[in-house]
Structure 1
Amino acid sequence: MSQTPLLRLYRRMQAWPAGQWLFSRAVCLKAPYFASIAPRITALEPGRCEGRIRHRRKVTNHIGTVHAIALCNLAELVAGLMTDASLPPSMRWIPRGMQVEYLKKAAGTIHAVATPEAPLVAATTGYDLPVRVEARNSAGEAVFRARISMWVSPRPPR
């Protein structure tokens, strides 16, 4: 399978000084809402995306931990990037739903990993693709899990 434009951009930028930071900023320019969590994409390949957010005031809740919605934003971001980097060019995607589990208070740098539960394939009709995301704190403890339903469908003809 050929590389998607997103994956090509990611791989090209990794050779640059501050490439991860620049790629993460570019993603936030395309989808501005994600800038609210200041993510850093640390790995992207077909079938896997990793990203992290730092625990800072902007993502802190009233009890001093990382806010639940900041964790959801990180999960949706890494799941979407993984899906985009993995799909054949004839397909497109959109998140359709998310189920989450908050396993323990999230503090410190949070690292999330997204992987598909099934192969991403070209198809003539749309299908549901479940994506698993697990987020861990800096001690390696799981603090959050999500299952995101991505609706994958053929791109309309131009």
Structure 2
Amino acid sequence: MSDTPLLRLYRKFTRWPAGHWLFSRAVCFKAPYFGTVSPRLTVLENGRCEATIPHKRRMQNHIGTVHAIALCNLAELVAGVMTDASLPRGMRWIPKGMTVQYLKRAVGTQRGVATPMVPLVAADTGYDLPVNVDVFDPAGEKVFNAVITMWVSPRR
């Protein structure tokens, strides 16, 4: 499978100093809402994406932990970027649904890891692609899990 345009762009940007920051800003420029959680994309390869979000006061809930919706934003970001970077030529995607589990209080910088639960394939018809996202705290303990269903279909 050849690299997607997004994966080629990531590899180009991350060769530069501050390249991960610059690539993350470019993603947030394309999808501005993700900028609300100040993500830093740290790993992008076919079938895997990782990003972190800081623990900032503006992303806290009333008990001082990272807000549940900030974790959902991180999950959707890494799932979407991973899917886009892994799609076979001629296919497109859109999120269809998300199931989440809050496993532990989320304190500190959070790291989200997205991987597909089944292989991404070229197809003549659309199909559901479940993407697993685990979010870890600074100690490496899993605090959150999401399964995001992507609708993958041929481009018109």
TM-score with structure 1 setting the length? 0.98
**Aligned counterpart, 1:144:** 144
The one-letter amino acid paired with 1:125 is T
Residues 12-48 of structure 1, C-alpha deviations (whole Å, 9 max, x = no match)? 0011010000000000000000000000000000000
**Equivalent residue runs for 1:1-158 within 5 Å:** 1-156=1-156
**Distance in 2 between residues matched to 1:6 and 1:62, nearest whole Å:** 37
CA deviation after TM superposition for structure 1 residue 89, in Å: 1.9
Q: Deviation at 1:88?
A: 1.0
Q: Determine the C-alpha separation between the residues in 2 that align with 1:149 and 1:47.
A: 15
Distance in 1, Cα, partners of 2:60 & 2:18 = 26
Unaligned runs of 5+ in 2: none
Deviation at 1:3, TM superposition (A): 1.0
CA deviations on 1:120-158 (whole Å, 9 max, x unpaired) are 0000000000000000000111000000000000000xx
Unaligned runs of 5+ in 1: none
Q: TM-score, normalised by structure 2?
A: 0.99
Per the TM alignment, residue 58 of structure 1 is displaced from its structure 2 partner at its CA by 1.6
Distance 2:155 2:11 in 1: 24
Report the number of matched residues. 156
* In structure 2, C-alpha distance between the alignment counterparts of 1:36 and 1:89, rounded to whole Å: 31
Percent of matched pairs sharing the same residue: 71
Partner Cα separation in structure 2 for residue 121 and residue 138 of structure 1? 34
**1:2 Cα deviation from its structure 2 partner:** 1.4
| Deviation beyond 3 Å, 4+ runs, structure 1 | none
